[in-house]
A and B are shown apart, each in its own frame.
Chain A
Amino acid sequence: MLSQCPRNIFIKIDANMSLSNYYWATDMTKKIAALDVNKCIGCMECMFACSRRVGRGGFDKSAIRVRSAGGIERGFVIVVCRACENPPCARVCPTGALRERKGGGVILSEDKCIGCGFCAQACIMGAIFWDGERNKPIVCKYCGECADYCVHNAIGMVEVKGEA
Chain B
Amino acid sequence: MKAKDMNRVLYIDLTKKDNKIENRDDLFDEYFGGSGVAIKLLEEECPRGIDPLSEANPIIFAVGPLTALFPSASKTVAMFKSPLTGNLGESHTGGRSAMAIKLAGYGAIVIKGSSDFPIYLAIHGDEVKFKDASSIWGIEAVAVGRILREVELGAGVRTIIRIGRAGEKMVRYACAVCETYRHFGRLGLGAVMGSKKLKAVVISADKSIEIPKDKRREYKRVYDEIQEVVVETDAMEKYHDLGTAGKIYDMNKLGGMAYKNLESASAPEEIAREFSGENIAEKYLSKRVSCAHCPVGCIHLASLRELYEPGYYFKTTTIPYDNETIYALGFMLGMKSAEDYLRLIDVVDRIGMDAISTGVTLAWVTEAYERGIITKEHTDGLEFHWGDVQVYVKAVNKIVEMPNEFYQNLAKGVEHASSVYGGQDYALAFGGNEMPEYHTGIACYLNNLTGARHSHLDSAGYDLDQKLIGKEFTLEEVVKGLLKEEEWRQILSSLVVCFFARKVYSAERVIRALDAIGIENWTEGKLEDLGRVIHRAKMDFKFREGFDLAKLRIPKRIFEVSTPHGFLKEEDMRKAIEIYGEMIGRDIQN
Which residue of chain A is the closest to B231 with respect to CB atoms? Answer: A151
Which residue of chain A is the closest to B72 with respect to CB atoms? Answer: A43
**Which residues from chain B sit less than 8 Å from chain A, CB to CB?**
3, 68-69, 71, 99, 103, 145-146, 149, 155-157, 179-181, 205-211, 213, 216, 219-220, 223, 227, 231, 236, 286-297, 301, 318, 517
Q: Does the CB pair A72–B180 fall under 8 Å?
A: yes
Query: Most chain-B CB neighbours within 10 Å: which of A68, A70, A151?
Result: A151
Q: Does the CB pair B181–A72 fall under 8 Å?
A: yes
Q: Does the CB pair B210–A55 fall under 8 Å?
A: yes
Q: Does the CB pair B209–A45 fall under 8 Å?
A: no
Chain B contacts of A118 at CB under 8 A?
none
Q: Does the CB pair B207–A60 fall under 8 Å?
A: yes
Distance A52 CA – B295 CA, assembled complex (angstroms): 16
Which residue of chain B is the closest to A58 with respect to CB atoms? Answer: B208
Distance A124 CA – B206 CA, assembled complex (angstroms): 23
Name 6 interchain pairs, CB-CB below 8 A, sorted by A: A48-B293, A52-B219, A56-B209, A66-B156, A67-B157, A149-B295
Distance A72 CA – B146 CA, assembled complex (angstroms): 11
Q: Does the CB pair B227–A149 fall under 8 Å?
A: yes
Which residue of chain A is the closest to B298 with respect to CB atoms? Answer: A41
Query: Most chain-A CB neighbours within 10 Å: which of B146, B211, B289?
Result: B289
With A56-B210, A73-B318 known as contacts, the answer to whether A48 contacts B68 (CB < 8 A) is: yes
Q: Is A115 an interface residue (CB 8 A)?
A: no
Q: Does the CB pair A59–B289 fall under 8 Å?
A: no
Q: Is A61 an interface residue (CB 8 A)?
A: yes
Q: Which of A42, A58, A70, A149 contacts B290 (CB 8 A)?
A: A42
Chain A contacts of B295 at CB under 8 A?
41, 43, 45, 149, 151-152
With A58-B68, A68-B156, A71-B180 known as contacts, the answer to whether A44 contacts B207 (CB < 8 A) is: no
Chain A contacts of B293 at CB under 8 A?
43-45, 48
List 5 tightest A-B contacts by C-beta distance, closest first. A58-B208, A67-B156, A73-B318, A41-B297, A57-B209
Query: How distant is A133 from chain B, measured CB to nearest CB, in Å?
Result: 9
Which residue of chain A is the closest to B216 with respect to CB atoms? Answer: A55
Q: Is A82 an interface residue (CB 8 A)?
A: no
Q: Is A31 an interface residue (CB 8 A)?
A: no
Chain B contacts of A152 at CB under 8 A?
295, 297
Q: Does the CB pair B99–A44 fall under 8 Å?
A: yes
Q: Which of A44, A59, A71, A149 contacts B149 (CB 8 A)?
A: A71
Q: Which of B103, B179, B181, B223 contacts A58 (CB 8 A)?
A: B103
Q: Which of B3, B71, B287 contacts A75 (CB 8 A)?
A: B287
Query: How distant is B197 from chain A, measured CB to nearest CB, in Å?
Result: 26
Chain B contacts of A48 at CB under 8 A?
68, 293
Q: Does the CB pair B149–A58 fall under 8 Å?
A: no
Distance A44 CA – B301 CA, assembled complex (angstroms): 18
* A7-42 Cβ-contact flags toward B at 8 Å (1 or 0): 000000000000000000000000000000000011
Q: Does the CB pair B208–A41 fall under 8 Å?
A: no
